[in-house]
Structure 1
Amino acid sequence: MFRLVWLGALAALFFSTTFVLNRSMSLSGGHWVWSASLRYAFMLPILLAWTLGTGGPRAVGRAFGLFAAHPVFWTVAGSVGFGVFYAGVTLASVFSPGWVVATTWQATILATPLVLALLGRAVPRKGLAFTALIFCGIVLVNLEQARNAPDVGSLLGIAAVLVAAVAYPLGNQLVWEARHGGGGRIPRIDQPALDAGRTPTLLLTIGSIPFWLVLVAVTRPPAPSPDQVLQTGLVALFSGVIATSIFLRARSRAKNAYELAATDATQSLEVVFSLLGETLLLAGPWPGPLGAAGIALAVTGLVLYVCRQV
């Protein structure tokens, strides 16, 4: 369990670059569609090179073979787990500061038990209690930051993050379900390659391509600036490749619903890392007593997840 939480926390560190850099690009006038779609355009060659370098041509062929065997599944999972998720996060950055997006995004820790229940998985009650404790901490952080910043973004931005908060665990859980037996319309994909982290990330990225092509065609955004391209490349590397691969690796090692919920709950640490990043790089305010109390509650919830195993 400790290793799962450690991997999740490390992933949260790299994930937090998303909120800081997306806000930076938004403030400089970059269109949110390019911030979203270019991330996955960069991720695809990086993941292919990584797979080729670590597993050789055979690993690349195996990955494409898995996609060819279940193209509908990977397109649906990729469009939901990567497409809807990241489009919502980047859209929100247009209306809200990075800390608002990061704190609202923590609704995903409550969405995870709902997704588990939707897919027929039992959710331990004490796991829900720890999740609620973490979420209460996030609410305290959000309340304090809202006091310090009169413009907390539009309802559209908040709604976009809430949709993303459901889409991300849903896409990830679809992959977990397929790897561990499938059922109903979810195919059974009994392949150890899916435990590596990079392989499901690559497959979900490929699966999301139709979503991004349609989004760009519909919105017709103006051409991105060189600075936006550079920052999007950094997000692709740190958050899209490194963080996602670590996180999916941690989830693949989870043996039951409790460990899955605990792993997903580590995303609460993104608030801490995002606050630090925005404070240091974008001159945001430091959290006060209420925010510190919220962070303490979130960390306490994570510690309880580790100490109270099922």
Structure 2
Amino acid sequence: MTRLILIGICSALFFSSTFVLNRAMSLQGGHWIWTAGLRYFYMFFMLSLWLVLAGKSRLLRGVFTAFRSNWCFWTMAGSIGFGVFYSLLTFSSSFAPGWVVATTWQSTILATPLVLLLFGKRVPMRGIVFTALIFAGIVLVTCEQASAASIRETILGVVPVLVAAFAYPLGNQLIWEARHGKMARIPQSSSVVLDDSVARVLIMVLGSIPFWIVLTLCVQPPPPSGGQLINTAVVAVFSGVIATTLFYKARHLATTPFELSAVDATQSTEVIFSLLGEIAFLGGAWPGAAGMAGVALSLVGLVLYVRSQTAAD
């Protein structure tokens, strides 16, 4: 159990780089579109190279074949699950500290059951009290942010994250439906491609590319700086490759529902790492009483929610 928790915490550490580095690039004047789009540009080549080096070139070709067969669906799924999700997350980093974004991001645990209901799934009602704790924590963090910034900055720093929290599970559920073929309106794709975790991510990255192209052409941001090119590459490696690999490894090693819930709960430490990272590397200030209380409530609520859902199973 200790090993699983340590692996999960390590994955959260690398995941937190997203919030800290996105904030850093924002403070350095980097445009949020490049912060978001370049990450997936790098991930496309990294994941493709990964499959080639792993001797799975055939699977790589299968990804492109599956995408061409249902390009409209995969463009929609990738645009929602990766495009809308991450563009809003990086946009918010221009207006709010990384720890505020990380804490608000915990609202995805509230959004997921609503997305499942949208797809006609049964959702256990256990844990509703704990989701209320998470929501209360986010409210406290928002109040803390509002006291230190204008109403406009608070809204632009928090509301996009709340929308992103719905877009991410929506995109993930679209993949699940395509893999299992449960809904008539969603085309069933190659099980060979969707059974491989790297290939699943790659086909979603591929589907998000039209979104990034259209968004960049519409906004026409200034060219990215050298520092932004490097930082987005670091985020792609740390969060897109290392963190995801560690997290999936911990879940794979888990053998009981309790161990799975423990691994999932470790991801709440992203908030702590984001806060410490911003203070250490960006000269950020410690949050006040309301902010600290909000972080604590969100962490406690998330851990209790995960355990309650496991008990329901």
Q: Relative to structure 2, which stretch is displaced further, 50-59 or 135-144?
A: 135-144
SS at match of 1:95: coil
2:59 is matched with which residue?
59
Q: Relative to structure 2, which stretch is displaced further, 259-268 or 13-22?
A: 259-268
2:274 is matched with which residue?
274
Question: 1:187, 1:261 → 2: CA distance?
Answer: 32
Question: 2:115, 2:235 → 1: CA distance?
Answer: 27
1:73 is matched with which residue?
73
Cα distance change of structure 1 residues 303 and 105 upon mapping to structure 2, 3 Å threshold: closer
Cα distance change of structure 1 residues 239 and 214 upon mapping to structure 2, 3 Å threshold: same
TM (norm. structure 2) is 0.83
Identity of aligned residues (%): 56
2:286 is matched with which residue?
286
Cα distance change of structure 1 residues 10 and 178 upon mapping to structure 2, 3 Å threshold: farther
Question: 1:172, 1:260 → 2: CA distance?
Answer: 19
Mapping of residues 35-184 of structure 1, within 5 Å: 35-144=35-144, 147=147, 149-151=148-150, 153-184=153-184
Q: Gaps (5+ residues) in structure 1?
A: none
- Per-residue CA deviations over 1:232-291 (Å, capped at 9, x if unaligned) read 11111112333456667889999xxxx999987765432222112111111223356655
Q: Match of 1:199, as an amino acid?
A: A
**Cα RMSD, aligned residues only:** 3.4
SS at match of 2:16: helix
Cα deviation, residue 204, structure 1: 0.6
Q: Match of 2:199, as an amino acid?
A: T
Q: Match of 1:309, as an amino acid?
A: A
Question: 1:188, 1:263 → 2: CA distance?
Answer: 30
2:215 is matched with which residue?
215
Q: Of 298, 301, 311, which aligns to 1:309?
A: 311
Counterpart contact for 2:32–2:91, Cα < 8 Å:
yes
Q: Gaps (5+ residues) in structure 2?
A: none
SS at match of 1:286: coil
Cα distance change of structure 1 residues 300 and 23 upon mapping to structure 2, 3 Å threshold: closer
2:28 is matched with which residue?
28
Q: Match of 1:225, as an amino acid?
A: S
Cα distance change of structure 1 residues 309 and 200 upon mapping to structure 2, 3 Å threshold: same
Q: Match of 1:78, as an amino acid?
A: G
TM (norm. structure 1) is 0.84
Question: 2:7, 2:78 → 1: CA distance?
Answer: 22
Q: Match of 1:39, as an amino acid?
A: R
Question: 2:191, 2:149 → 1: CA distance?
Answer: 50
